[in-house]
């Protein structure tokens, strides 16, 4: 399909950016799923894979932090409109929702579009041109893959229903998923699916897991204030002592009150009590993150933390305020949706591409979608198979671009498999091979 814009440069880009003719001059990476169909998908990737690579490199060169993804949003909208689609920007001004196809049934595919405050150190010719900001979590890859899936789906002679494309802003901090949901992103959606780069998995493989695949992440902020006379130590409570009691006591008590199998971890990021020229300190703050891999435990933590903090601080005599924010829930993959995804991967790439993955302590706001509709979140292998594997949120993150066509094929096949599964999310999942079933 040649109507896709061959030049998708960011607005106000410098004329020397070596990306304008990239789609024409770039050598495409190997497409390991070529020939597995459907025919229109094979044809589209054969003709346009360099475009997907060019989109990814353009996005990579111009990363934007959460809620500042205006250039990225404009780029996404421009590509989708060139396909004859009708994207709409979220009311907050960044992020895009767009449907492909028609009919009463609808499944959603999601990609996050924001970057991190990390200075890139990869040496790539298309490295970040924004000081102190880079796509160190692979969201440029996610966005390019979903754009490729959109273009491929738009080239299909017909589709068995609607595919909703969710280009979500602000994943790296809480809020972006809520903005998509508030804008109607899940209205009428039966299931939702997502992919995330994983440099620990070799390219050509998709890591899947039924049940929890990430951890919930809560934000804690404790503010304490001294009671008594400010200039008389013997008449005032000790703020620093109170902070220390909680900093050491709360993790210790949680380790004894919460089942160790839940993987609950509290990490403090800040302890501060502003210095005073004379007298005792009057106030202080303690901030940290509380993670757990168990959705049931996560639901109990707010009351439990409040109980323990109150018990620890009561003897100190300080006044305190505790703010406990549920930042992201556990991404808890639905069984039937995961089987849909595994079946799709096997069809797109072969059964050997479906590999198991483990639950991480990382947070991911895809979990908010799964509190509204069933779905599954998988890991896209991006390690070349040689040299160090690297990790996410690192300045040296490198993605093997062979993951791009693999991601496009996975997304397209997942949408088609979900839409052709009879009867929606309450129906029986599609049949799958024994190799796929073992991964479940």
Dump pLDDT digits (tens) for 258-301: 999 999 999 999 999 887 665 567 899 999 999 999 999 999 99
Cis peptide before 35, with omega less than 30 degrees from 0? no
What's the pTM value of the predicted model, to 2 decimals?
Answer: 0.91
Domain assignment present for 14:
no
Give residue 298's region: left, alpha or beta (phi > 0; psi -120 to 50).
alpha
> Rounded distance, CA 379 to CA 363, Å?
14
Give residue 232's region: left, alpha or beta (phi > 0; psi -120 to 50).
beta
Cα-only R_g, the chain: 24
Domain assignment present for 8:
no
pLDDT at 318: 94
In sequence order, the 6+-apart residues with CB closer than 8 A to the CB of 123 are none
Pair (306, 202) in one structural domain: no
What's the number of domains the chain is made of? 2
Of residues 4 and 167, more confidence is placed in 167
Domain assignment present for 17:
no
Cis peptide before 386, with omega less than 30 degrees from 0? no
Beta bridge partner(s), residue 289: 219, 267
pLDDT of 236 above 80: no
Which of the listed residues 328, 358, 381 is the one where a domain comes to its end? 328
Pair (259, 349) in one structural domain: no
> Rounded distance, CA 240 to CA 314, Å?
15
Domain assignment present for 11:
no
pLDDT in tens, 300-355: 999 999 999 999 999 999 999 999 999 999 999 999 999 999 999 999 999 999 99
Q: Where are the alpha helices (DSSP H) in 323-402?
A: 335-349, 366-370
> Rounded distance, CA 185 to CA 307, Å?
37
User: 406: helix, coil or strand?
Assistant: helix
> Rounded distance, CA 74 to CA 15, Å?
18
pLDDT at 18: 34
**Is residue 230 very low, low, confident or very high in pLDDT (cuts 50, 70, 90)?**
low
User: 95: helix, coil or strand?
Assistant: coil
Domain assignment present for 56:
yes
**Is residue 60 very low, low, confident or very high in pLDDT (cuts 50, 70, 90)?**
very high
pLDDT of 194 above 90: yes
Domain assignment present for 232:
yes
* Cβ neighbours around 68 below 10 Å, total: 17
pLDDT in tens, 95-140: 999 999 999 999 999 999 999 999 999 999 999 999 999 999 999 9
Burial of 264 (0-12, 13-18, 19+ CB in 10 A): buried
CATH number at residue 262: 3.30.70.360
CATH number at residue 338: 3.40.630.10
Which of 431, 350, 397 minimizes the C-alpha distance to 32? 350
Q: What is the mean pLDDT of residues 68-78?
A: 98
∠ CA(402), CA(408), CA(413), 5° rounding?
A: 130
Domain assignment present for 15:
no
Q: What is the mean pLDDT of residues 23-51?
A: 91
pLDDT at 73: 98
pLDDT of 436 above 60: no
**CB 405, CB 49: distance < 8 Å:** yes
Q: What is the mean pLDDT of residues 3-31?
A: 51
Pair (140, 239) in one structural domain: no
Which of 47, 163, 1 minimizes the C-alpha distance to 405? 47
Of residues 178 and 238, more confidence is placed in 178
**Is residue 227 very low, low, confident or very high in pLDDT (cuts 50, 70, 90)?**
confident
What one-character-per-residue DSSP string does 235-291 give?
A: GB--HHHHHHHHHHHHHHHHHHHS-GGG--EEEEEEEE----SSS---EEEEEEEEE
> Rounded distance, CA 29 to CA 145, Å?
14
Q: What is the mean pLDDT of residues 180-190?
A: 98
> Rounded distance, CA 43 to CA 157, Å?
12
pLDDT at 234: 56
Secondary element (H or E) of residue 44: helix 39-61
Domain assignment present for 230:
yes
pLDDT of 3 above 60: no
CA distances (Å), origin 2, targets 24, 42, 43: 12, 14, 11
Pair (137, 271) in one structural domain: no
pLDDT at 27: 87
CA distances (Å), origin 96, targets 70, 90, 207, 409, 411: 11, 6, 27, 21, 17
User: 180: helix, coil or strand?
Assistant: helix
Pair (324, 336) in one structural domain: no
Which of 166, 204, 154, 165 minimizes the C-alpha distance to 43? 154
Beta bridge partner(s), residue 196: 379
Domain range for residue 262? 219-328
Pair (204, 260) in one structural domain: no
What one-character-per-residue DSSP string does 129-168 give?
A: -STT-B-TTSHHHHHHHHHHHHHHHHHSS--SSEEEEEEE
Name the percent of the chain lying above pLDDT 90. 83
Pair (195, 235) in one structural domain: no
């Amino acid at each position: 399909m040649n109507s896709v814009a061959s030049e998708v440069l960011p607005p106000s880009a410098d004329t020397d950016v070596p990306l304008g003719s990239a789609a024409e001059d770039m050598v495409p990476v190997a497409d390991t799923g070529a020939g597995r169909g459907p025919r229109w998908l094979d044809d589209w990737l054969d003709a346009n894979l360099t475009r997907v690579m060019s989109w990814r490199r353009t996005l990579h060169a111009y990363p934007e932090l959460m809620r500042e993804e205006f250039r990225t949003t404009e780029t996404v909208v421009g590509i989708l409109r060139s396909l004859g689609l009708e994207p709409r920007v979220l009311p907050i001004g960044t992020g895009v929702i767009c449907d492909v196809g028609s009919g009463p049934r609808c499944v959603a595919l999601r990609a996050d579009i924001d970057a991190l405050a990390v200075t890139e150190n990869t040496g790539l010719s298309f490295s970040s041109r924004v000081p102190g900001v880079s796509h160190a979590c692979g969201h440029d890859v996610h966005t390019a893959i979903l754009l490729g899936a959109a273009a491929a789906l738009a080239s299909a002679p017909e589709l068995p229903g609607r595919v909703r494309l969710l280009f979500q802003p602000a994943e790296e901090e809480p809020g972006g998923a809520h903005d998509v949901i508030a804008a109607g992103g899940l209205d009428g959606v039966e299931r939702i699916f997502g992919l995330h780069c994983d440099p620990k998995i070799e390219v050509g493989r998709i890591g899947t897991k039924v049940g929890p695949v990430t951890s919930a992440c809560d934000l804690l902020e404790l503010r304490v204030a001294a009671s008594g006379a400010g200039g008389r130590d013997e008449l005032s409570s000790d703020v620093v002592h109170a902070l220390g009691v909680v900093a050491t006591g709360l993790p210790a008590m949680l380790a004894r009150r919460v089942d160790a199998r839940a993987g609950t971890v509290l990490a403090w990021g800040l302890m501060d009590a502003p210095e005073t020229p004379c007298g005792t300190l009057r106030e202080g703050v303690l901030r940290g993150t509380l993670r757990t891999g168990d959705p049931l435990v996560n639901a109990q933590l707010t009351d439990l933390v409040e109980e323990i903090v109150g018990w620890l601080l009561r003897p100190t005599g300080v006044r305190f305020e505790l703010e406990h924010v549920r930042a992201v829930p556990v991404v808890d993959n639905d069984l039937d949706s995961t089987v849909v995804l595994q079946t799709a991967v096997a069809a797109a790439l072969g059964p050997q591409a479906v590999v198991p993955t483990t639950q991480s302590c990382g947070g991911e706001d895809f979990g908010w979608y799964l509190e509204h509709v069933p779905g599954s979140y998988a890991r896209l292998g991006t390690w070349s198979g040689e040299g160090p594997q690297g990790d996410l949120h690192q300045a040296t993150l490198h993605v093997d671009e062979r993951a791009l066509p693999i991601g496009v094929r996975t997304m397209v096949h997942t949408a088609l498999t979900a839409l052709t599964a009879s009867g929606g999310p309450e129906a029986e999942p599609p049949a799958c091979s024994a190799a796929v079933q073992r991964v479940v």
